[in-house]
Amino acid sequence: MQGAPAQGARADRAPPPNAGAEPAPFRRPSADLVALYGLHAVREALRAGKRKLLDLYAAPGAAEKLAPDIAASGVRLTLVEPEALSRRLGPGAVHQGALLEARPIAPLDVSEITPRGGIALVLDQITDPHNVGAILRSAAAFDVDAVLMTERHAPEMTGVLAKAASGALEHVPIAPVVNLARALRELKGLGYLCVGLDSEGAADLQEVGLSAPVALVLGGEGKGLRRLTRETCDVVARLDMPGPIKSLNVSNAGAVALALVSRRLRG
């Protein structure tokens, strides 16, 4: 019946434009539930096939845009009005009419990292989900081997972070670690040169001798690299900026460093 939720249906074609309806109750937040919203994040999750997909709640317009990926994934679709998603996610969430409930991707162990591309990223207690999401997006763009981050003092891999990552969560191997200094030593055992980034670093990153694989270590907002992290790195380098502002937001610094190191390793 037109106007009823399309529960369990494969979206082989776009739903009629007036088919919006209130959804069945959303799942309660829990440790084994990930809420992904925004067209890019949802589309990449549907395409990548790395998660167990539970339910997709979408406004008719968003469902039409996602129709081929909904059909291919077989996810259960419920048509909703955008206001229902705003009530579920909060008024500040830019959901673009799509919310996917799914299970988390299984985390990677440091011992499982393969230095295929030559660069890994290590995040030392970066807590802002927008920063981490932007870093993951850059990591996906440069095809990094993995991103290591602390289990504590790090944002959840869902919601705001997933939206900022714009689908990168589905493509970047993530290794949560309890002890970052120990993880750095494990990376060294895998052959990685651990290079910490700090505006007060003794050497210019462009002048540091590099050989693949390289692990770039980024410090947390405001406090930078912690003492033990800094001491465990093989070298601590800075980004020399020609303009009047000499320091960058951590996500921007990470993107610049990835570009510099990637070019040098390829050259």
Question: ∠ CA 116-117-118 to the nearest 5 degrees?
Answer: 100
For each of the chain's 267 residues, which pLDDT tens digit applies? 334 444 444 444 444 433 444 445 788 878 889 999 999 999 999 999 999 999 999 999 999 999 999 999 999 999 999 999 999 998 889 999 999 999 999 999 999 999 888 999 999 999 999 999 999 999 999 999 999 999 988 999 988 999 999 999 999 999 999 999 999 999 999 999 999 999 888 899 999 999 999 999 999 988 899 999 999 999 999 998 888 887 789 999 999 999 999 999 987
Question: CA 133 from chain center: how many Å?
Answer: 5
CA-derived radius of gyration, the chain? 21
Burial class (CB within 10 angstroms; exposed 0-12, middle 13-18, buried 19+) of 70: buried
End-to-end CA distance of the chain: 61
Delimit the domains of the chain by residue range. 1-105, 110-266
pLDDT of residue 140: 96
Q: Does the domain spanning 1-105 belong to CATH 3.30.1330.30? A: yes
Task: Specify the amino acid at residue 163.
Answer: K
Class of domain 110-266: alpha beta
- Tokens of residue 25, six digits: 């109750």
Identify which of 19, 30, 122 has the alpha carbon closest to the alpha carbon of residue 80: 19
pTM of the entire structure?
0.86
* Domains 1-105 and 110-266 equal at CATH topology level: no
